[in-house]
Structure 1
Amino acid sequence: MTDQSDIKTDDTAAANMAMAAGDGAPTSAIPPEELSRLTDDIIGALKTVYDPEIPADIYELGLIYKIDIDDSRNVDVEMTLTAPGCPVAGEMPIWVENAVGSVDGVGQVKVEIVFDPPWTPERMSEEAQVAVGWF
């Protein structure tokens, strides 16, 4: 489902990944293998957070729009909800912050709820569609 999310690092970390690919860009404070591990672990942590009304995790539901990791390993998450009036709108960002913050090596975590673009069921992965009985 990574294609549905915009997982980014800050400019220098992205440059480090480019450098590792051999294009000569400056390096980041985060080595590429550490950045890859952090990204994988953050996604794994996000997959432990479930929408209480839908039997699927928020990552597979397509609620995570962006993950930014800066050189200090601080993480900004941009996410949405299935509906603006979601009953856990006040709690969900805290759940996400706690899950991502539990990842080894992560600094501060900031979670922002956005509604542009609005969430639609088409953002769900096949795994989430199976979980909700669409297959």
Structure 2
Amino acid sequence: MDPVFGMPTDPEETEGSQATAGEALTDTSQIADDDRVIAALREVYDPEIPVNLYDLGLIYDMAIQDNGDVNVLMTLTTPACPVAAEMPQQVADAVSTVPGTGKVTVTLTWEPPWTMEKMSEDAKLALGLG
């Protein structure tokens, strides 16, 4: 545990941890599409980096189920990130605001480890790396 933030710093303590938001849809005739969910993911920023999580390459997978439920697999730049416990919930909350989404489950993973190569070209340019 981090002595200052009181959060796990060992990747094994957070691997597979999940955050959820939203609830099952009763009307599945208007399921959200990938573009809307990705737009919501682009609204969540790492507080230490002025680039959204999607363009940073922290979202490894996103799948919208036939019933509107959304599963997101994500990582962070480092297991020692001081917001490791908060970011998955922020992602779940953001995605759950998209009309046509049901229950949103965000799972945190450390494999494969994040590298700067996972960033979009726009992210690299914003950070002066491109």
Q: Which of these residues, 77, 82, 93, is aligned with residue 77 of structure 2?
A: 82
- Matched residue, 2:113: 118
Equivalent pairs: percent with the same residue?
Answer: 50
| Alpha-carbon distance between aligned partners in 1 of 2:54 and 2:93, rounded to the nearest angstrom | 15
- The more displaced of 42-51 and 66-75 is 66-75
Distance in 1 (CA, whole Å) between partners of 2:100 and 2:70 is 11
**Unmatched 5+ stretches in structure 2:** 1-27
Report 1:31-110 matches (<5 A). 38-110=33-105
Pairs aligned (count): 103
* Length-normalised TM-score, structure 1: 0.72
The residue type paired with residue 40 of structure 1 is D
1:54 partner SS: coil
* Structure 1 runs (4+) greater than 4 angstroms displaced: none
Q: TM-score, normalised by structure 2?
A: 0.75
Task: Name stretches of at least 5 consecutive residues in structure 1 with no aligned partner.
Answer: 1-29
Identify, as 1 or 2, the structure richer in helix. 1
Q: Deviations over 1:2-53 (max 9, x none)?
A: xxxxxxxxxxxxxxxxxxxxxxxxxxxx78xx66x52100000000000111
Q: CA RMSD in A?
A: 1.5
Matching residue's letter, 1:50: Y
